[in-house]
Amino acid sequence: MQLTNDTDQVLEARRLDLSHELATLTSTHTLPSALESASQTDSSTDDTNLLANLFSRNQQLETKSLEKLHRIAGITLFIPNNPNEGSISQDGKQDEFLGIRFETIQNGISISC
Amino acid sequence: MWEGVFELPHYVILKKDFDEEIGETYTIHRHTIPSFIPIVEIYETTMKEGVSGLEQFAQSLHRHLISLSNRSAIVARLKKVIGVEEVKTDEAVRLVEVVTAGWNGKIMLGEKAERCVVIDHENARRKDVEEIILDQSKGDLVERVSMAM
């Protein structure tokens, strides 16, 4: 009887060890793969974001360069933001505005042809 | 290639309007044009035909602003001339008063020519200095004032 109890205890201990090992193995196998997939998703998202940012920055720079080029001409037209968007004029139509920007340059000298 | 500094821009905001006689037109809504530039008169002269006068309106205003900028540049250069103690101007930078150790000169800046009166500290008129300042063959105004020292 004593022998049976001892065997039960040994077997129970062994079962616990094995289940612990199984849990460890499962976790070590699943966790890295989960991390891996997560990091892959993150890196691809990061790359896409980076490219999108670079593209948008490049576009902004081009727009700024074009704006500077136009400013040299001295007179530029633009559509101003209407702070009162719903405003209506006397004829019942929505208000429309046109902005004119005047530039002057001081000390403008030609430094090469 | 050009090198220079953009000054603070001036803005005019026009509002689209409709006139029974001339059709679609613009009215002045807001602007940052200095008060001594007759923007309303320029508008009435150029925009009486409607939208077709917009370019002329803008160019005319721009000419006034360029003239102002040029006059301001002259005053800025006059302040740096050795011997000039003080330079005072009116708001439109048309009347410029130059104070030196020997004389006070009041110079009226025009589009093509200048007029000036120079008086020394004993209230005597200095025609010799006036002649140098008004002699356009001797360079631009700043150079002539510098020569008159």
Inform me whether the pLDDT recorded for B56 exceeds 90.
yes
Return the closest-CA partner of residue A101 out of A74, A67, A64.
Answer: A74
Judge whether B129 and B118 are in contact, CB under 8 Å: yes
Average pLDDT over residues B60-86: 90
Return the closest-CA partner of residue B46 out of B14, B71, B11, B80.
Answer: B14
Q: What six digits make up the tokens of B88?
A: 């005072």
Q: Is residue A113 part of a domain?
A: no
Number of Cα atoms under 13 Å in the Cβ half of residue A6: 3
Q: What is the pLDDT of residues A30-58, one digit of tens each?
A: 444 444 555 555 667 788 888 888 888 99
Full residue range of the structural domain in which residue A43 is found? 2-83+94-102
Q: Is residue A44 part of a domain?
A: yes
| Identity at B19, one-letter amino acid code | D
Q: How far apart are CA B39 and CA B33, in angstroms?
A: 7
Predicted confidence at residue B95, as pLDDT, reads: 93
Judge whether B62 and B49 are in contact, CB under 8 Å: no
Q: Which residue has the tokens 């460890």?
A: A24
Q: How far is CA B26 from the centre of its chain?
A: 27
Per-residue pLDDT of chain A (113 residues; tens, 9 = 90+): 555 677 888 888 888 777 767 666 555 444 444 445 555 556 677 888 888 888 889 989 998 888 878 877 889 998 988 777 777 666 667 788 999 999 888 766 544 43
Average pLDDT along chain A: 74
A81 to chain B: closest CA residue:
B13
**B136–chain A Cβ distance below 8 A for any pair:** no
Question: What ipTM is given for this predicted complex?
Answer: 0.82
Return the closest-CA partner of residue B30 out of A104, A100, A67, A84.
Answer: A100
Q: How far is CA A35 from the centre of its chain?
A: 21
In the structure, what pLDDT confidence band is assigned to residue B22 with cuts at 50, 70 and 90?
confident
**B63–chain A Cβ distance below 8 A for any pair:** no
Q: Structural domain boundaries of chain B?
A: 12-72, 83-147
**A95–chain B Cβ distance below 8 A for any pair:** yes
| Cβ-based burial of B66 (10 A; exposed 0-12, middle 13-18, buried ≥19) | middle
Sheet containing B84-89: which strands, arranged edge to edge?
B84-89, B95-100, B103-109, B114-120
Test the B interface: residue of A93, A100, A111, A113 with most B CBs within 10 Å: A100
Predicted confidence at residue A2, as pLDDT, reads: 59
Q: Is residue A72 part of a domain?
A: yes
Q: Is residue A31 part of a domain?
A: yes
**A106–chain B Cβ distance below 8 A for any pair:** yes
Q: How far apart are CA A59 and CA B29, in angstroms?
A: 32
The domain total for chain A is 1
Read off the pTM. Answer: 0.69
Q: Is residue A23 part of a domain?
A: yes
Q: What is the pLDDT of residues B36-47, one digit of tens each?
A: 999 999 999 998
Helix, strand, or coil here: B99? strand
Q: How close does chain B come to A89, measured CA to CA in Å?
A: 8
Give A95's DSSP letter.
P
Return the closest-CA partner of residue B65 out of B89, B93, B98.
Answer: B93
Predicted confidence at residue A40, as pLDDT, reads: 55
Judge whether A103 and B9 are in contact, CB under 8 Å: yes
Q: Is residue A88 part of a domain?
A: no
Q: Write down the H helix ranges in B3-140.
A: 39-46, 54-78, 127-134
Predicted confidence at residue A99, as pLDDT, reads: 94
**A108–chain B Cβ distance below 8 A for any pair:** yes
**B101–chain A Cβ distance below 8 A for any pair:** no
Test the B interface: residue of A93, A102, A103 with most B CBs within 10 Å: A102
Q: Is residue A79 part of a domain?
A: yes
